[in-house]
Amino acid sequence: MEAVFDEIFCVIAEKQPNDLRLDMALFQAIKDEFGLTSSRKSLDFLLTSCANAKDLQNSLLIWSEYQASSLRFNVLTFLRMYQALLASGYPKYTKSSLIKISMDDSHVRCIIKACQEPYVQSSSMTKTKKLKLKNKT
């Protein structure tokens, strides 16, 4: 049964755009109705969906589920949460999450850079646009 739920959340994570209402309702039903704790794989897919949807509230909820399920955080979990925080537009939290990620691995550094590119550029472009508008008035 766990493998079926993992596959369902995999398909959900791959769809665009993400509307998390159904995802989170299914997640809650699995917990409440079946009394199952989520697997790491399901939580990973849900966290990816939260990042794609730029949904901080549900990202934090899924993050707490790792703890509730007694799953240890690993590098990929931290990277997914970092991406979710960036996508949600909360740079204050992203800096503190980077501290928990080991930068020894060059692949990890590349992933962090790739995560930053779409979000850091878009936020700096927004600031530039605001400054231009302000200067015109």
How much of the chain, in percent, has pLDDT values that exceed 70? 84
Grade residue 12 by pLDDT with cuts at 50, 70 and 90.
confident
pLDDT at 15: 74
**Closest listed residue to residue 57, CA positions, set 47, 68, 67:** 47
What are the domain boundaries of the chain? 2-127
Q: For 15, which DSSP code?
A: S
- pLDDT tens for each residue of 57-105: 999 999 999 988 888 888 888 888 888 888 888 767 777 778 788 888 8
Exposure string of 13-23, with b = 16+ CB inside 10 Å and e = fewer, is: beeeebebeeb
Q: Where are the beta strands (DSSP E) in 3-131?
A: none
